[in-house]
């Protein structure tokens, strides 16, 4: 009883001091590590360390692209690679519009670098290192419809303008749950890279 009261007080003190306490896993999957500052409501400024991703670029609609891209990347981490090794799944799954189509990303487990990961069996699966980044992020639950994603993106652009932050690149969509999760239990996020 006393321990739970102490922990609740610690979380509240951290939140009130401007920091943000967060879990290291989400529904049993390791979450990509970051530190965050809560700005208001569901709005956060997140600082991500350098990390390694597996990425495919898929053409088509957003929904079709994430389904196909997820499948391609799942094959890679479930052992369809040069070493036949399984790689732990992390969350979120990322999706970003590029000039070539939709880039779908899985972040590799913490500490991974492209040189130590098994070579993908499919040439269109790319391993690459991302530098440390700061993202402006907002979160919402429910179905990730085009309307909700676009509204979240507009909110971020308006907030950035009001706070004097310069955003860079296309919106990054981040999904944490499988399609069988009830909509009200889903965690969806939209983010923009904050330019230095």
DSSP annotation of 17: T
Per-residue model confidence as pLDDT tens digits over 110-159: 999 999 999 999 999 999 999 999 999 999 999 999 999 999 999 999 99
Closest of 175, 177, 179 to residue 190, by C-alpha: 175
Q: What does the block give as tokens for 2?
A: 């006393």
CB neighbour list of residue 132: distance below 8 Å, 6 or more residues apart: 47, 48, 49, 50
| H-type alpha helices, 53-175 | 62-77, 146-163
Q: What is the pLDDT of residues 40-76, one digit of tens each?
A: 888 999 999 999 999 999 999 999 999 999 999 999 9
Cα separation, 90 vs 86, whole angstroms: 13
């Amino acid at each position: 009883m006393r321990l739970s009261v102490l922990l609740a007080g610690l979380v509240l003190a951290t939140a009130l001091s401007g920091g943000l306490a967060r879990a290291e896993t989400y529904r049993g999957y390791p979450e990509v590590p970051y530190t965050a500052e809560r700005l208001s409501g569901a709005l956060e400024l997140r600082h991500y360390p350098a990390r390694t991703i597996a990425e495919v670029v898929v053409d088509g609609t957003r929904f079709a692209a994430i389904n196909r891209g997820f499948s391609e990347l799942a094959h890679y981490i479930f052992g369809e690679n040069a070493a036949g090794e399984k790689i732990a799944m992390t969350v979120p799954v990322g999706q970003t519009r590029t000039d070539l189509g939709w880039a779908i990303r899985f972040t590799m487990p913490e500490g991974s670098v492209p040189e130590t990961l098994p070579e993908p069996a499919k040439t269109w699966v790319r391993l690459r290192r991302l530098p440390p980044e700061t993202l402006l992020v907002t979160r919402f639950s429910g179905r990730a419809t085009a309307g909700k994603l676009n509204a979240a993106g507009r909110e971020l652009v308006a907030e950035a303008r009001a706070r004097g932050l310069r955003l860079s690149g296309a919106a990054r969509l981040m999904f944490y749950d499988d399609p069988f999760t009830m909509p009200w239990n889903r965690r969806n996020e939209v983010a923009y890279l904050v330019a230095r």
